[in-house]
Structure 1
Amino acid sequence: MQALLIKDFYMLRKQLKSFVLLILFFTFLSFLLDQGLFLISMALIVGTLQVTTAFTFEEMCHWDRYAGALPITKKMIIGSKYALSLALTGGSIIFISPVLFLVNLGHNTLTLQEIFAIVAVAMTVGLVITSVIIPVYIKYGSTKGRSILFAITFFPAFGIGMFTNSSQMPSAETLNKIMTVTYFAPLIALFLLAISYLISVKLYSRKQF
């Protein structure tokens, strides 16, 4: 699986460079507009989208037919996609968390505990999106999957963006509820990811190349 993961990163080299540039652009906007939540939502979506790019490239070059002749199992192929998505989502969160802290440092609008809660919720959203888009791309391919992807990423981004478009921060009661959810949300998201993996393996095993 490690070789498959390395293959995906090599395939996405140019895309990852663009991803870094986008993150830097969103970082600049966050400092300019004092919208740290905007940075999290956009970075999360861009990071999650990279795994779909891998699916699209492989579909264009008929990678699945070639992979059938290699000494690798279909479980390993699917597992590498989940590992790639986790690496991209986790890397995005790790990169933007210090930026969010610095943005907040100059305005002191959130406590450190609230920042950790927001980051945890953002990571949970990324895991849930991953749990949905990988089976969708396996089932429907990149063309139809792209339309479904737009729908499932637009609404979470819009929901997070509602905070940034408001002139007032959420109430203390709302923030407390968010922090309470963060204790359980990542575990639920990981459970959904495990179920998604099993579904993806089953879908991929049925495909004929």
Structure 2
Amino acid sequence: MKGLILKDIYSIRITQKTYVLLFLFLCVFGYLMKSPGYVGTMCIVVFATVVLSLFNADQYYHWDTYAAALPLGKRIIVRARYMLIIVMTLGLAVFTAIMTGATAALLGMSVSEQVISSVSMCMIIPIFSGIIIPVIYKLGVEKGRVIFMMLFLIPFLVLTLLKDLIRGTAVEKLLVNLQQNPNGQVIIAGILLAVSILVLAVSYMISIRIYSNKEF
């Protein structure tokens, strides 16, 4: 499994300079916007494109056909991809915490609040990955791109609609208090972590079933 994970990491390293420059740009932009949380949010978008590019590379180089000839079980191939998601999520959470904390310190904001908020956002990565990976295994990369766009568009529309519906209500006050209260932020982070673990676990089982039934 280690070799499979390294294969994906080496694939990402091909464009690592581009990602490094992009992350640095996001940090500078977040500072200019006086919004440390912007860094964490955009990192999620960048990570999502990385996940899609990995599957695109597998399709381009016919990796699945090649892997079928190796002494590897299909379950291990799927497991390695999910392990990579976990490792990259943890790595991105650490990176985001450092960059967000530094930006918040420069702006004179509360470092702990901004770091907790940004790290909480990173918990969306496993949720996103847990949705998109089974779809790509089932429908392929091209159709997966459509779902990829919908995963960003639909939540935005839903949140916009809910924001209008709860405006001026007790629910809005509760959510605002949770976001502004450090303890509330920890609760939100815990909920997102629990949901991400559940989604990733269910997604893993679905992906194994789909991938095991495919012929290459």
Please report the TM-score for the alignment, with normalisation by the length of structure 1.
0.85
2:107 corresponds to 1:96: no
Distance 1:97 1:154, change over 3 A: farther
Q: Which whole-Å CA distance do the structure 2 matches of 1:25 and 1:32 have between them?
A: 11
Give the superposition deviation at 1:18.
Answer: 1.6
SS at match of 1:196: helix
Give the superposition deviation at 1:108.
Answer: 3.5
For structure 1, the 5+ residue unaligned runs are 160-169
Distance 1:173 1:205, change over 3 A: closer
**What are the residue-to-residue correspondences of 1:128-207 with 2, within 5 Å?**
128-154=127-153, 171-176=176-181, 177-207=184-214
Q: Which whole-Å CA distance do the structure 1 matches of 2:177 and 2:110 have between them?
A: 10
**What are the residue-to-residue correspondences of 1:101-112 with 2, within 5 Å?**
101-110=101-110, 112=112
Please report the TM-score for the alignment, with normalisation by the length of structure 2.
0.83
Q: Which whole-Å CA distance do the structure 1 matches of 2:186 and 2:155 have between them?
A: 18
Give the length in aligned residue pairs: 199
The answer to whether the 8 A contact 2:31-2:107 is kept is: no
For structure 2, the 5+ residue unaligned runs are 160-174
2:45 corresponds to 1:38: no
The answer to whether the 8 A contact 1:51-1:84 is kept is: no
Range 33-42 or range 83-92, more displaced: 83-92
Cα RMSD after superposing both structures: 2.2
1:24 counterpart residue number:
24
1:69 counterpart residue number:
69
- 1:108-153: CA deviations, max 9, x gaps? 43351x2343134212211110111111111111111011111213
